[in-house]
Amino acid sequence: MLFQVRMDVDLPRDLDPAQRDDVLAREKAYSQELQRSGEWAHLWRIVGHYANISVFDVESNARLHEILSSLPLFPYMRIEVTPLTTHPSAIRTED
């Protein structure tokens, strides 16, 4: 089941540099693990923003919330979720 998710990051300026490096490293590792498992199907940077547009392919709403609320950057992000489904004119339905 597909969802578009937009994440805008707003890291506090006074975040401890070591803590900042740590949270970013964990975010990257976690994101790549989910990309390899196939649940984080697409991940793009928005030009000019510290933000991404992603597509998730998960088995349920509950699983999507589990993934998003476990993101190391979750406390520092504004998130928008848009449920998607197959478009009748799409020639590929694998995603």
- 3 state DSSP class of 72: coil
Least Å distance, CB 51 to a copy of itself, is 10
Q: How far apart are CA 18 and CA 7, in angstroms?
A: 23
Neighbours of 63 (CB within 10 A): 13
Q: 31-90: which residues touch a copy of itself (CB under 8 A)?
A: 31-32, 35-36, 42-50, 52-53, 55, 60-62, 64-65, 68-69, 75, 79-90
- 3 state DSSP class of 12: coil
Least Å distance, CB 55 to a copy of itself, is 8
Least Å distance, CB 17 to a copy of itself, is 14
Least Å distance, CB 74 to a copy of itself, is 8
Q: How far apart are CA 30 and CA 72, in angstroms?
A: 8
Residue 1 corresponds to which amino acid? M
Token code pair at residue 12: 């506090």
Residues that bind a copy of itself (CB under 8 A): 1-5, 12-13, 27-28, 31-32, 35-36, 42-50, 52-53, 55, 60-62, 64-65, 68-69, 75, 79-92, 95
